[in-house]
């Protein structure tokens, strides 16, 4: 496949290496220094865009990629207030769009475990719930997209919770999410249920960016020839 990398930071470089190892061709490496060059890509010379940039750039990147008719895989978080707009554009252009807050297979299994645990605990109001996410100091958005996906899974299974809050919430009516930025941590997420008599905790720790990058390339391969809007649940079945 002919891949355009839209965003060429640390993640973009790991994605490039894995894509090349899997026999693909990287035909474009676009960042803020050569952003205008992206207008030269179309389905005639690119099969897919992989968009891993930053929250301030993602919305326009996605608009351009879909408007230019190129199937797009996105892993940038922090822009999701505009997701309906992007999905409408994908439908209008009869395009293909794949989004995940996290492309790690392990994290997506963690998402499922999180929902199961939330459902099991929901009948027991003596448990309060909280979450902590830890990422490297370069991450722009907080809480992480992964934390938001985890929170949405918990809210779907616990009717007593009205929403989530960054660094605020009592764990009974509102889910608090703590966001820590330190060093070069790839990503750690912890969900904790506390009662007077015990605590239950589930945790996912990423050891490197490799798992995220591999998942993004696998999603790119899976998207080939498809039209519509997809995510990791579609890929994993």
- pTM listed for this prediction: 0.80
CATH number of 2-103+210-236: 3.40.50.720
Distance of CA 1 to the CA centre of its chain: 22
Looking at residue 179, its pLDDT comes to 97
* Residue 21 clears pLDDT 90, i.e. is over it: yes
Rounded Cα–Cα distance for residues 235 and 215 (Å): 10
The CATH architecture assigned to 105-205 reads: 2-Layer Sandwich (3.30)
Rounded Cα–Cα distance for residues 87 and 97 (Å): 8
- Whether residue 138 lies in the annotated active site: no
In the structure, what pLDDT confidence band is assigned to residue 208 with cuts at 50, 70 and 90? Answer: confident
Q: Any known ligand binding at 145?
A: yes
In the structure, what pLDDT confidence band is assigned to residue 101 with cuts at 50, 70 and 90? Answer: confident
- Whether residue 135 lies in the annotated active site: yes
Looking at residue 162, its pLDDT comes to 95
What percentage of the chain carries pLDDT values higher than 90?
A: 90
Q: Any known ligand binding at 75?
A: yes
Q: Report domain extents, the chain.
A: 2-103+210-236, 105-205
Looking at residue 126, its pLDDT comes to 97
Q: Any known ligand binding at 77?
A: yes
* Residue 38 clears pLDDT 90, i.e. is over it: yes
Looking at residue 140, its pLDDT comes to 84
Arithmetic mean of pLDDT over the chain: 95
Mean pLDDT of 181-208: 96
Burial 170-203 (b: 16+ CB within 10 A, else e): ebeebbbbbbeeeeebbbbbbbbbeeeeeeeeee
In the structure, what pLDDT confidence band is assigned to residue 209 with cuts at 50, 70 and 90? Answer: confident
Tell me if 2-103+210-236 shares its fold with 105-205: no
* Residue 31 clears pLDDT 90, i.e. is over it: yes
* Annotated catalytic residue, options 54, 135, 189, 204: 135
* Annotated catalytic residue, options 24, 54, 139, 204: 139
Mean pLDDT of 91-118: 95
Q: Any known ligand binding at 136?
A: yes
* Residue 198 clears pLDDT 90, i.e. is over it: yes
Q: Any known ligand binding at 87?
A: no
């Amino acid at each position: 496949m002919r891949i355009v990398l839209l965003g060429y930071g640390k993640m973009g470089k790991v994605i490039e290496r894995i894509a090349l190892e899997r026999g693909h061709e990287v035909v474009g490496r676009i960042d803020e220094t050569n952003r205008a060059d992206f207008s030269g890509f179309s389905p005639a010379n690119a099969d897919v865009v992989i968009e891993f940039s930053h929250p301030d750039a993602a919305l326009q990147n996605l608009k351009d990629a879909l408007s230019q008719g190129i199937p797009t895989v996105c892993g940038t978080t922090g822009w999701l207030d505009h997701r309906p707009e992007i999905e409408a554009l994908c439908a209008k252009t009869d395009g293909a769009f794949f989004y995940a807050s996290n492309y790690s297979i392990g994290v997506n299994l963690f998402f499922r475990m999180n929902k199961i645990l939330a459902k099991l605990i929901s009948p027991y109001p003596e448990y309060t719930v909280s979450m902590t996410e830890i990422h490297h100091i370069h991450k722009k958005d907080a809480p992480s997209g992964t934390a938001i996906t985890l929170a949405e899974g918990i809210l779907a299974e616990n009717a007593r919770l009205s929403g989530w809050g960054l660094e605020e919430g009592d764990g009974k009516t509102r889910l608090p999410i703590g966001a820590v930025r330190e060093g070069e941590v790839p990503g750690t997420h912890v969900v904790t249920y506390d009662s007077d008599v015990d605590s239950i905790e589930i945790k996912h720790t990423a050891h490197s960016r490799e798992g995220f990058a591999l998942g993004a390339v696998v999603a790119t391969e899976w998207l080939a020839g498809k039209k519509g809007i997809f995510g990791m649940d579609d890929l994993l079945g």
